Every structure is written in C-alpha cells, then in structure tokens.
Chain A
Amino acid sequence: DAKTTQPPSMDCAEGRAANLPCNHSTISGNEYVYWYRQIHSQGPQYIIHGLKNNETNEMASLIITEDRKSSTLILPHATLRDTAVYYCIAVMTHGSSNTGKLIFGQGTTLQVKP
C-alpha cells in the first residue's frame, strides 16, 4: 500500500474552512484515497474516498490532484466538534491480498478554535 504523509497538526478557526493536505506520491493506479477521522477515544469514522475525481458528500470535499500524488480534505465550515485526528489512507481496491486493508499512519490532529 502507498505510504501517505500528513502534517502532524493544524489549527482552524471555527466557521472557517479546514484544508487538510495529504501526500501520496507513490500511490498506484488501483489505490483509492480514503479519509477517516477519530474523535477523542472513539473508533475511527469514515469521511470520504476517491480515486481521481473530486468528491463531495455531506461531511466534506476531497480534492485529488491530476497526477494523484496528493489530495486535500476540505471541511467547509469547521465546528468545534470537528476537532479530531484525521487520517489519509491509500487503499488497494483489487489485485492482491492487501485489497481493502486500512493501514493508518499518524494522521493530522486538527484543533478547531473558537
């Protein structure tokens, strides 16, 4: 699975957009980019995923560069409840025993401040 690199921490003002970057320069053609978050001591929660097109759902938007070497998760209007650790993961979709496995890195700790 491709290794991802994220900044260890970020701050964001409440109500502003939070833009969380992720580098995945060695991603292969059959690996999706997934984002999860973990609030305090809870289990991780799925946010969004994509292959090469930008994606949007009720929680966030995912922007993937054309060369697929990096992506950005956007929380359009961050709230205090969005304070969490955000994980960017490259997940193989098919073709090996690693298919579907979620290998978490260190993630980015996002602190939303009032």
Chain B
Amino acid sequence: IAGITQAPTSQILAAGRRMTLRCTQDMRHNAMYWYRQDLGLGLRLIHYSNTAGTTGKGEVPDGYSVSRANTDDFPLTLASAVPSQTSVYFCASKKTGGAEAFFGQGTRLTVV
C-alpha cells in the first residue's frame, strides 16, 4: 500500500543520546517535511526538503538535522537529545505543485 511510514512508533531515550527518526515514502513526492507537536499545541515545522539533495530550516530547527540523499527517505537526527525534545514527531510528503500533503502516523519520543 502506497504511503508514508515512520519508525519507530515510539521511543524512550536517555538525554544526551543520539537518535534518528526514520521517514520513508513510496509516492515519489519531491517535498518532505518534519513537524513536532507538543501537548495542546499545533504542529511546528522543524525542517523541510523541496527535492532530493536540498533541505531547509523550518520554525524550530535547533537541535535537529536532516538529510535527503534520495527521494524516498528523509531521516531526522537528534545529535544529543534533551528533555525539551520530548514530543510527537510527524513526517509528511507532498508532490511539488500538488494540493495534498500526506502525513505519517507519528513517532512519540520521550527524552528522560
């Protein structure tokens, strides 16, 4: 089934550890996005990529890095996790010029 997949679904991580959240889509969408959502708040854009090989900073990029080596994958890395990065992370993809963005099921990350 075509779609967008995130892994892991949930994770408890010790502060200071490195963590990579994975996001894969098989719809050949050019644009991909990472958001975080904190309790009671809307989604905030962390990083985005308009096409393979390019990335850009969103609203809250500090403490996160991304790469876009190919069209399908857009991993999000926390180099040294801190408790304030406890959140639900959503990945999304969208066809350039298309109307609809597709979201993954989310990764619930707890940094302790």
Contacts and interface: CB of A to CB of B under 8 A. Distances in A.
Interface of A: 34, 36, 38, 41-46, 49, 85, 87, 93, 97, 99-107
A100 B59 contact: no
A100 B31 contact: yes
A102 B92 contact: yes
- The listed residue with most A CB atoms (<10 A of its CB), out of B31, B42, B48, B106, is B42
Given A43-B92, A97-B56, A103 B45 contact: yes
A41 B58 contact: no
A99 B29 CA distance: 15
B33 A106 contact: no
Contact of A106 (B42, B58, B104): B42
Interface stretch (B11-19, B68-76, B77-85, B93-101): B93-101
B41 interface: yes
Given A42-B105, A87-B42, A102 B33 contact: yes
Contacts of A46: 99-102
B22 interface: no
B89 to A, nearest CB: 10
A45 B103 contact: yes
Contacts of A100: 31, 50, 94, 96-97
B105 A104 contact: no
Nearest to B44: A104
A44 B94 contact: no
A49 B42 CA distance: 19
